[in-house]
Amino acid sequence: MLGNWFWILQAPADVEKTKPTDGQLLQYDATAKQWKLVTAGTLGATGFLYFGNPLTNGTWRIGRSGNNLNFERREAGVWVKKSAATP
């Protein structure tokens, strides 16, 4: 599928060669700069869910930071915290 955030999935080296099963999802590893399959519900303490291409300005992400849930947007090549939900 061609479109905003699917372009990175078209590079064969970026996607683990396995089909997701029930309970799995694709997670972008910003350190390794590649997608990987993870079991749903196992997002780590510093993991993020991306809404768009993680390398493109304007993309949003949601993730944990300590006990907070942060909402961040990529602007000028850096992630900027826009809001946080605290317990």
CA atoms of 23 and 50, how far apart (whole Å): 18
DSSP-derived 3-state class of residue 12: helix
Determine the structural domain holding residue 39 and report its residue range. 18-85
Confidence at residue 18, expressed as pLDDT on a 0 to 100 scale: 56
Q: Establish if 10 belongs to a structural domain.
A: no
- The total domain count for the chain is 1
Q: Establish if 6 belongs to a structural domain.
A: no
Q: Establish if 1 belongs to a structural domain.
A: no
Task: Please give the chain's pLDDT, 87 residues, in tens.
Answer: 334 444 445 455 545 455 666 777 777 776 777 777 777 665 666 678 888 888 889 999 988 888 888 999 999 999 999 999 988
Identify which of 32, 69, 66 has the alpha carbon closest to the alpha carbon of residue 49: 69
Confidence at residue 53, expressed as pLDDT on a 0 to 100 scale: 82
